């Protein structure tokens, strides 16, 4: 079982629709969860993080966390063509002795927003 799983897609949504991206993780001890956006040929850009059960909203983005079911999702409202990218889910599997944190990444979901 992969530690962090995402559907690779592509997920195609029309402009203006809600895009829903999902991620499941295997380690019940995971504490914090991150969504990164990565455009082709670019580096990952942090767009949301969440560490409490429930929803967290930031503009058009909403992160949802359900620790009991071990999933985290990202909703993008009013999707725009500029949202077309690969979205990476990352889970803080453990805090490292001596400092720093170990993030485990999924393979990413490719989102295409069509005109």
Distance CA 5, CA 106 (A): 5
The interface mask with another protein, positions 54-93, x = CB under 8 A, is ----------------------------------x-x-x-
Residue tagged 């990352």 (tokens): 90
Q: Which of 21, 23, 34, 63 binds another protein (CB under 8 A)?
A: 34
Q: Which stretch binds another protein (CB under 8 A): 22-30, 49-57, 67-75, 76-84?
A: 49-57
Under the binding rule (CB under 8 A), the answer on residue 106 touching another protein is yes
Residue 97 has which token pair? Answer: 């002795």
Count helices and strands (H / E) in the chain. Answer: 0, 11
**Binding segment toward another protein, per CB under 8 A, in 12-20, 32-40, 61-69, 72-80:** 32-40
Closest listed residue to residue 50, CA positions, set 32, 74, 69: 32
- What's the rounded Cα separation, in Å, for the pair 55 and 57? 7
Q: Footprint of another protein on this chain (CB under 8 A)? A: 4, 32, 34, 36, 42-46, 49-51, 88, 90, 92, 95-108
């Amino acid at each position: 079982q992969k530690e962090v799983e995402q559907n690779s897609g592509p997920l195609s949504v029309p402009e203006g629709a809600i895009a829903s991206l999902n991620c499941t993780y295997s380690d019940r001890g995971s504490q914090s969860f991150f969504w990164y956006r990565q455009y082709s040929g670019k580096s990952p850009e942090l767009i949301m993080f969440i560490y409490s059960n429930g929803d967290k909203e930031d503009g058009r983005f909403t992160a949802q966390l359900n620790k009991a079911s071990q999933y985290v999702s990202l909703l993008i409202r009013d999707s725009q063509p500029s949202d077309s990218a690969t979205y990476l889910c990352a889970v803080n599997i453990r805090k490292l002795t001596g400092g720093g944190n170990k993030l485990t990444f999924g393979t990413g979901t490719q989102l295409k927003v069509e005109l």
